[in-house]
């Protein structure tokens, strides 16, 4: 969901010339709209109303039984749990834990190191899984034998390491990832290449400013934790990461991708990328948050115009059972920045999305 910018920020965005030239490549989804919300009679709607009328919620009011196992929310790169107070807290799940608890689910919010490799973060995530299991034992009707991990962004890589390398396949029932870069994100490759060449680049600064920190290439070269985190996010590292962290047959893996674009401009490649599974209202596109615009063109591989959400491509987000695309950029997916409103352009509501997801897990026996 786009936000307004001050003049200084606008100037910064306009200086990202290659990105402006790639407006059409910053992923929207051009698949047929699929929504649980009833649409009004087409004969009663003018063309202008079809383009401008507020979109109803994409999901019907979620209902159902609570999940059998507790839910663990795993945040992404430079995130925290929702109780955090730092600037980086904009990468946490805003309001999600409370919404799920109100529906009767047992929920635990993990908090791991914001900047580090998945292998390090996964060890901390493991402690939170153990805590969630302990909490579950005190809740009537909660099955503490396993947990459901719902992970955003880099949290999905942490979850895969948790299950595979750390042997938590016997304690994790399901792993749901939302825009996790399973095949990497090209902006990380670009950043590390620039470090190796010892050249400054505005895109690198923009990338880390998203996470509340500013780096020069020298800073990044000397910051082992940040370098480890960035390396884990590269496309170059993705194949070896997957080989080192194979899926566990005892665990159900599913994934969602987010798609967005500058000013909501369509990309003809979206339909194929989303495999025909796209939720939106009247084929409307999400307008990308200005904070993500400076790096999204790099994520899209420039003129290749790969559909993405500002930080992860649709293809990279796919892992396990691919459930489809949602009209949301990387911030919208977790309700940030502190956004409780439904997007009147697309109908996306992050709280309904996670509530529906949790009830769906319950229906699947998790």
pLDDT mean over 10-25: 35
Residue 231 pLDDT exceeds 60: yes
CA distance 185 to 27: 14
Domain ranges within the chain, ordered by starting residue: 7-32+63-186+230-363
- 57 or 170, higher pLDDT: 170
Lowest mean pLDDT among 56-60, 243-247, 296-300, 306-310: 56-60
Confidence of residue 230 (pLDDT cuts 50, 70, 90): confident
Confidence of residue 217 (pLDDT cuts 50, 70, 90): low
Q: Model confidence over 95-144: pLDDT tens digits?
A: 999 999 999 999 999 999 888 899 999 999 999 999 999 999 999 999 99
User: Encoding tokens for residue 258?
Assistant: 């987010």
Confidence of residue 280 (pLDDT cuts 50, 70, 90): confident
* Average pLDDT value for the chain: 82
Is the pTM above the cut of 0.75? yes
Helix (DSSP H) and strand (DSSP E) numbers for the chain:
15, 6
CA 191 to chain CA centroid, Å, is: 20
Residue 355 pLDDT exceeds 90: yes
Decide yes or no: CATH 3.40.50.1820 for domain 7-32+63-186+230-363.
yes
CA distance 240 to 157: 13
- 57 or 10, higher pLDDT: 57
Per-residue pLDDT, 202: 55
Q: Model confidence over 51-94: pLDDT tens digits?
A: 678 889 888 999 999 999 999 999 997 655 544 444 346 678 99
Q: Give CB contacts under 8 A, 24+ apart, made by 164-170.
A: 164/244, 164/245, 164/246, 164/247, 164/248, 165/119, 165/122, 165/244, 165/245, 166/122, 166/123, 166/126, 168/126, 168/129, 169/248, 169/250, 169/251, 170/146, 170/250
User: Encoding tokens for residue 44?
Assistant: 């009663």
């Amino acid at each position: 969901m786009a936000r307004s910018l001050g003049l200084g920020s606008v100037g910064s965005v306009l200086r990202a010339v290659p990105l402006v030239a790639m407006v059409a490549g910053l992923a929207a989804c051009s698949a047929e709209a699929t929504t649980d919300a009833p649409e009004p009679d087409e004969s009663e709607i003018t063309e202008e109303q079809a383009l401008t009328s507020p979109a109803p919620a994409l999901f019907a009011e979620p209902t159902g039984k609570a999940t059998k196992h507790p839910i663990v929310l795993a945040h992404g790169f430079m995130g925290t749990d929702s109780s955090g107070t730092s600037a980086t807290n904009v990468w946490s799940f805003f309001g999600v834990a409370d919404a799920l608890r109100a529906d009767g689910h047992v929920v635990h919010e993990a908090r791991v190191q914001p900047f580090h490799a998945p292998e390090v973060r996964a060890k901390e995530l493991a402690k939170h899984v153990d805590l969630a299991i302990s909490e579950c034992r005190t809740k009537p009707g909660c099955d503490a034998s396993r947990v459901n991990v719902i992970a955003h962004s880099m949290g999905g890589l942490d979850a895969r390491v948790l299950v595979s390398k750390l042997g938590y396949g016997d304690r994790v029932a399901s792993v749901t990832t939302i825009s996790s870069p399973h095949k990497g994100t090209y902006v990380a490759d670009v950043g590390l290449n620039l470090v190796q060449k010892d050249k400054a680049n505005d895109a690198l600064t923009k990338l880390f400013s998203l996470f509340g920190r500013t780096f020069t290439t020298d800073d990044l070269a000397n910051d082992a934790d940040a370098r480890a985190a960035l390396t884990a996010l590269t496309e170059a590292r993705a194949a070896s990461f997957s080989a080192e962290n194979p899926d566990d047959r005892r665990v159900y893996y599913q994934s969602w991708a987010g798609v967005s674009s500058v000013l909501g401009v369509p990309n003809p490649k979206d339909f194929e990328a989303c495999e025909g599974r796209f939720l939106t209202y009247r084929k409307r596109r999400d307008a990308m948050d200005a904070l993500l615009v400076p790096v999204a063109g790099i994520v899209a591989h420039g003129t290749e115009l790969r559909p993405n959400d500002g930080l992860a491509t649709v293809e990279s987000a796919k892992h396990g059972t691919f459930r489809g695309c949602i009209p949301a950029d990387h911030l919208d997916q977790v309700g940030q920045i502190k956004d409780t409103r439904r997007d009147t352009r697309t109908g996306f509501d992050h709280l309904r999305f996670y509530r529906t997801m949790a009830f769906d897990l319950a229906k699947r026996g998790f």
